[in-house]
Amino acid sequence: MIYSIDVEITAPVRDTEVTDRVRDAVTNLFPEAELTETHGEIQAEAHSMDHFSEQLHRQAILDTARGAFFENRNRDVFTFELKKQPAFEGVINFAVGNPDELGDMHVRVYVDEPEVEAFVDQIAPRTEEGKPVTSEEN
């Protein structure tokens, strides 16, 4: 399926942090992102979540991802927060509760095509007994 999305990632850079480490945290999860550095923040834009989806599958956290995606959904946009330290290690860890003292990465996904539900089904499919379920299997 062909899809059209815009992914905006912002990550605060605190005075005590090394900017390159925050940059690496973003690119480890979104390697195709184009980064811009402003004072105290890394901003990035991507048009694919393929690598992110592969990591969700590897970590077997598809249900967690679906919950995070649908929890903060508004029409054709969904947002979620990620912890920077695990991202630096290439690991997805959704931020819940109080923000990390160094700040969390904020991800906003604008879905143009297909509908949000279909896109989420593609990157984080529903599971049964921990295994992804595709529409062809139903």
Q: Residue 138's pLDDT is what?
A: 43
What is residue 94's DSSP assignment?
B
Mean of pLDDT over the chain: 90
**Burial grade of 84 (CB within 10 A; 0-12, 13-18, 19 or more):** buried
* CATH superfamily to which 4-137 belongs: Ribosomal protein L5 (3.30.1440.10)
* Residue ranges covered by each domain of the chain: 4-137
**Assigned token pair, 61:** 């956290």
Query: pTM of the full predicted structure?
Result: 0.90
